[in-house]
């Protein structure tokens, strides 16, 4: 970036200290360079004018042109507002300002013609436009000077009060771009990439995205800048991946030994799926070559990730190493421990559990045995990451639902083993769409278990309205009469915790009346309970002492009750698709028929209808994840990975999958040909990556 673009934003004419402070605070615009990369989010076509008499309820935003007939201030105090009336020969409409009324009154001229743009509001059957964008076009010269495509910029209420609305940003950005010379916006892409992609240069793209002369120019600018964002994110990830391959050694697991073979031939009571076998081969190929493994294992709920994890652990043990597995909650960690302890004992292996609840002499004994190498497998929570936990020779570390762990926490695993870091296997039961997988896990190898074990039936999912509650009670009775158990889940949303708890309590009271003691018993679990009370209630359900569990989403992961075959989700419209799918995954775990009932009110938003329809039509978590991405966008889903790599201003992981896939393919070709970016033709790429790298957290080697 040039010295001009490094200039603090306060020094731009028209800004000053007060506006500069607001720009820094509200939009993180600190320099001239930040301002030119504050891109428009849409454009108004100034040539499209709607006659006032054609305005109807189908229009949410309109652009009109007319003469200002009159204006006056109305009301007093907080109700004070400015109202102006525009007439275009076909009709009239009111413009209203609730803020800045006095300032607007000083700049409006009665009798002049204005171009007006804004959102429609309807009150008492009359339309008005509150706080419109307004430009005077009283003469032909001024009208010709208006851009055909006027950029609209993201802003805030406090900035709009300081005249930094769309019009204000247009004026400032135009003044800045007029100052920019050829050397102020350096090119970041080599000529061979520009030629291959037929993209325009960076300076031209910056100018055209702010002030395009046509729709084609806007498209050229947007395509160039979107590609650049996605390409450099992928280039960094691929470069890091190849660098790790070259520079980070891994323990060599050369043999498939006695423990693995004994488990596979004598203990494993079912045939592995084709997907499980494929994934094990992929992991095995990593572990035997002396290269550090950094692999993501995706698999839907019930697809058999835990069996794969155990077999990987046995590979480590057969080669003389310890292994650990950590989960984000004690319930989930204990579930893994209980699932492995019998098999470990049959194999003559020492397995231990470590969590915050393990204290005193018991904890000290585990730590001592671990350091001496007397414990083969350690299962636990974040407690495993603490400094006093020392392994003799940790060779493999597995994290489950790893997005719940911060990068710094995961980095502690690397320090648990010397001289090399342990191999890392990252598992998630949250299916990740292809675009997110490429974007957030570009530096990891990805394995996918996309096949369910034979005999596991899809969960039948139905949608009932409130009016069918008696029918729901009947289905519950049928399930309980067959000796089965039932979940009833209520939403828990932080902003409404008190209200949600009331709803849960009311639901519990209704169910208690409908399913009274002593014939029935009900467990209650929610996040506000003490851990010991929550564990007690869950254990009662596990032991079949209660037939119904009334809960919030605390049961979303980590609860495994094969006897539970009915999941009822109250106010299902308040849950996201991913959450609904995870909750549904609590049933259907024991074979036989299982059912999920989604209960909602009659009035549903368009998005809620889409979510309900998707859930009733498919059990495929990867299909649901793709639908969720299209519905919500990546913003709410980026918890899949805490990463500073993606600071996307223009590109969309939903809309730009083709650009992303091409960018990744090109990045791989470049790094395969020039792993260290040493060739002169890649000087720009190397310098740009180094610049970005200096801003990063320094955790680039951590999965």
Q: Where are the domains of the chain?
A: 47-146, 211-456+635-703, 460-618
Portion of the chain with pLDDT greater than 90, in percent = 48
Find the largest Cα–Cα distance for the chain: 94
Q: Are strands 564-569 and 595-600 parallel, antiparallel or unpaired?
A: parallel
pLDDT digits (tens, 9 = 90+) for 157-171: 788 888 888 888 999
Q: Specify the pLDDT at position 285.
A: 94
pLDDT digits (tens, 9 = 90+) for 206-260: 999 999 988 999 999 999 999 999 999 899 989 988 888 888 889 999 999 999 9
Residue 429 has pLDDT above 80, yes or no: no
Q: Write the DSSP string, 489-552.
A: E----GGGHHHHHHHHHHHHHHHHHHS-TTT--EEEE-TTS-HHHHHHHHHHHHTTS-SEEEE-
Q: Specify the pLDDT at position 657.
A: 84
pTM as predicted: 0.72
Same fold, 211-456+635-703 and 460-618: yes
* The CATH fold of domain 47-146: OB fold (Dihydrolipoamide Acetyltransferase, E2P) (2.40.50)
3-state secondary structure of 649: coil
* The CATH fold of domain 460-618: Rossmann fold (3.40.50)
* The CATH fold of domain 211-456+635-703: Rossmann fold (3.40.50)
Whole-number Å distance between alpha carbons of 98 and 124: 18
Residue 142 has pLDDT above 60, yes or no: no
Q: Write the DSSP string, 291-333.
A: B--EEEEEE-TTS-HHHHHHHHHHHHHHTT-EEEEE-SSHHHH
For residues 578 and 620, the answer to whether their CB atoms sit within 8 Å is no
Residue 493 has pLDDT above 60, yes or no: no
Mean pLDDT of all residues in 492-514: 73
For residues 373 and 322, the answer to whether their CB atoms sit within 8 Å is yes
pLDDT tier for residue 698 given thresholds of 50, 70 and 90: very low
Q: Specify the pLDDT at position 407.
A: 53
Per-residue H/E/C for 531-548: HHHHHHHHHHHHCCCCCE
Residue 703 has pLDDT above 50, yes or no: no
Mean pLDDT of all residues in 539-562: 83
pLDDT digits (tens, 9 = 90+) for 279-332: 999 999 999 998 999 888 988 877 888 899 999 999 999 999 999 999 888 878
Q: Specify the pLDDT at position 501.
A: 57
Angle formed by the axes of helices 215-247 and 202-210, nearest 10°: 130
Q: How far is CA 264 from the centre of its chain?
A: 37
Mean pLDDT of all residues in 356-384: 94
pLDDT tier for residue 140 given thresholds of 50, 70 and 90: very low
Residue closest to 310 by CA, chosen among 262, 275, 263:
263
What average pLDDT does the structure give for the chain? 86
Q: Specify the pLDDT at position 641.
A: 40
For residues 117 and 61, the answer to whether their CB atoms sit within 8 Å is yes
pLDDT tier for residue 566 given thresholds of 50, 70 and 90: very high
Q: Specify the pLDDT at position 588.
A: 84
């Amino acid at each position: 970036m040039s010295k001009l673009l490094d200039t603090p934003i306060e020094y731009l004419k028209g800004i000053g200290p007060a506006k500069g402070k607001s720009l820094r605070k509200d939009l993180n615009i600190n320099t001239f360079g930040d301002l030119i990369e504050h891109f428009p989010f849409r454009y108004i076509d100034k040539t499209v004018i709607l006659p006032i008499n054609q305005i109807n309820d189908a229009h949410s935003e309109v652009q009109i042109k007319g003469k200002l007939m009159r204006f006056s201030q109305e009301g007093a105090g907080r109700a004070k507002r400015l109202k102006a009336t525009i007439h275009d020969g076909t009709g009239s409409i009111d413009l209203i300002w609730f803020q800045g009324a006095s300032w607007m009154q000083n700049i409006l001229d009665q009798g002049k013609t204005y171009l007006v743009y804004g959102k429609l509001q309807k009150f008492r059957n009359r339309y008005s436009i509150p706080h419109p964008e307004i430009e005077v076009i009283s003469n032909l010269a001024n009208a010709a000077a208006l851009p055909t495509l006027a950029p609209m910029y993201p802003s805030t209420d406090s900035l709009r009060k300081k005249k930094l609305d769309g019009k204000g940003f247009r004026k400032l950005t135009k003044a800045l771009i007029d100052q920019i010379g050829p050397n102020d916006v350096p090119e970041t892409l080599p000529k061979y990439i520009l030629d291959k992609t037929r993209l325009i240069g960076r300076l031209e793209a910056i100018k055209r995205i702010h002030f395009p002369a046509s729709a084609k120019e806007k498209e050229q600018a947007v395509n160039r800048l979107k590609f650049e964002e996605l390409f450099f994110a992928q280039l960094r990830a691929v470069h890091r991946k190849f660098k790790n391959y070259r520079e980070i050694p891994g323990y060599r697991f050369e043999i498939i030994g006695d423990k693995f073979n004994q488990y596979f031939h004598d203990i494993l009571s079912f045939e592995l799926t084709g997907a499980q076998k494929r994934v094990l081969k992929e992991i095995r190929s990593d572990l035997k070559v002396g290269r550090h493994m950094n692999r993501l294992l995706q698999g839907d709920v019930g697809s058999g990730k835990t069996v794969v994890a155990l077999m990987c652990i046995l590979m480590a043990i057969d080669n003389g190493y310890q292994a650990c597995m950590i989960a984000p909650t004690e319930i989930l960690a204990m579930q893994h421990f209980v699932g492995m302890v019998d098999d470990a004992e049959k194999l003559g292996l020492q397995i231990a559990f470590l969590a915050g609840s393990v204290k005193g002499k018991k904890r000290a004994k585990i730590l001592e045995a671990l350091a001496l190498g007397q414990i083969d497998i350690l299962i636990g929570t974040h407690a495993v990451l603490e400094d006093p936990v020392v392994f003799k020779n940790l060779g493999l570390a597995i994290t489950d639902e790893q997005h719940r762990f911060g990068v710094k926490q995961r980095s502690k695993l690397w320090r648990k083993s010397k001289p090399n870091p342990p191999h890392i296997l990252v598992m998630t039961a949250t299916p990740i769409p292809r675009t997110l997988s490429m974007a957030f896990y570009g530096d990891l190898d990805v394995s996918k278990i996309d096949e369910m074990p034979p005999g596991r039936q899809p969960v039948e999912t139905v949608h009932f309205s409130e009016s069918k509650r008696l029918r729901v009670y009947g289905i519950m009775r049928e399930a309980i009469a067959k000796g089965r158990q039932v979940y009833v889940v209520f939403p828990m949303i932080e902003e409404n915790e008190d209200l949600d708890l009331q709803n849960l309590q009311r639901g519990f009271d209704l169910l208690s009346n409908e399913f009274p003691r002593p014939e029935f018993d009900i467990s209650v679990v929610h996040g506000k309970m003490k851990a010991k009370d929550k564990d007690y209630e869950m254990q009662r359900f596990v032991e079949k002492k209660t037939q119904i569990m009334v809960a919030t989403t605390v049961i979303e992961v980590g609860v495994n009750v094969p006897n539970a075959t009915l999941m009822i989700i109250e106010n299902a419209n308040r849950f996201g698709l991913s959450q609904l799918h995870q909750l549904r995954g609590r049933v259907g775990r024991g074979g036989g028929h299982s059912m999920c009932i989604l209960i909602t009110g009659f009035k549903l938003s368009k998005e809620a209808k889409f979510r309900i329809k998707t859930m009733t039509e498919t059990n495929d978590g990867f299909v649901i994840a793709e639908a969720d991405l299209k519905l919500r966008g990546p913003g709410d889903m980026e918890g899949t990975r805490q990463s500073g790599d993606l600071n996307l201003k223009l590109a969309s992981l939903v809309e730009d999958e083709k650009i992303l896939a091409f960018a990744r393919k090109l990045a791989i070709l470049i790094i395969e040909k020039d792993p260290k970016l040493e060739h002169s033709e890649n000087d720009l790429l190397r310098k740009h990556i180094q610049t970005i790298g200096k801003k990063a957290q320094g955790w680039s080697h951590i999965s």
